[in-house]
Amino acid sequence: MKNERIKNIEKVELSDNWYTLNNYNFEYQKEDGTWETQRRESYDCGDGAAILLYNRERKTVVLTRQFRMPTYVNGNDNGMMVEVCAGLLDGLSPEECIKKEALEETGYKLNAVQQVMVTFMCPGSVTQKLYLFLGEYDTHMKVEEGGGVEDETENIEVLECTFTEALDMVSSGGIKDAKSVMLLQHAALTGIF
């Protein structure tokens, strides 16, 4: 559905070094009917998927820990982030992507996943749409070591903790990643345990 209050969009690519940074100049019609020119920069890193792996019987979840440079340069003292498993779609469907990422990052081969929501995590500056999933795991599903793909320089540590410990990390600031907070809160609200 086209927004009739937007016209004359001009896009200029500013950088294509890692992902793509674009500048958009456009006209926006205000409530009083007048038009104003606006300028926005938008970072396109591709759409992605994330999953909270949980074991209902043991009341545990699988999380990851890895270094995130953007957080390091913005006050995260060691740059390490505890997160749910996630990755970019790279041409796959969200379900295919998250099963692949779960295997690469955590070593768990998932049979079934459940999409629970779709989000725009930073809609003021980042185009990324993120598909959020839940997936139940068991010890027999651990078929690889995990840790990420070596040529992607991920260096991921796989963590297993109780669901209560994960929620406590949200409360204490040990988990600051938005997608992870959202999935843990969703699990708490829906009572999967």
Task: Report the alpha-carbon distance of residue 22 to residue 141 in Å, rounded.
Answer: 42
Residue 137 burial (C-beta neighbours within 10 Å; 0-12, 13-18, 19+):
buried
Q: Where are the domains of the chain?
A: 6-44, 48-190
H-helix or E-strand containing 168? Answer: helix 163-172
Residue 78 φ then ψ, to 5°: -105, -5
Q: What is the pLDDT of residue 154?
A: 80
114-128 confidence digits (pLDDT tens): 999 999 999 999 999
Task: Please determine, for residue 165, whether its predicted confidence score (pLDDT) is greater than 80.
Answer: yes
Extract the tokens encoding 115: 């999409």
Q: What is the mean pLDDT of residues 166-177?
A: 97
pLDDT for 164 equals 98
Asked if 156 contacts 115 with a C-beta cutoff of 8 angstroms, the reply is no
Class of domain 48-190: alpha beta
pTM: 0.93
Pairing mode of beta strands 60-67, 157-162: antiparallel
**Helix, strand, coil tally for the chain in percent (to 5):** 25, 40, 35
Q: What is the residue-averaged pLDDT of the chain?
A: 96
Contacts of 82 (CB under 8 A, 6+ apart): 63, 64, 65, 159, 169, 174, 175, 177, 180
Residue 151 pLDDT more than 80?
no
- Collect all residues with Cβ–Cβ distance below 8 Å to 52 and sequence separation of at least 6: 61, 84, 133, 134, 135, 180, 183, 184, 186, 187
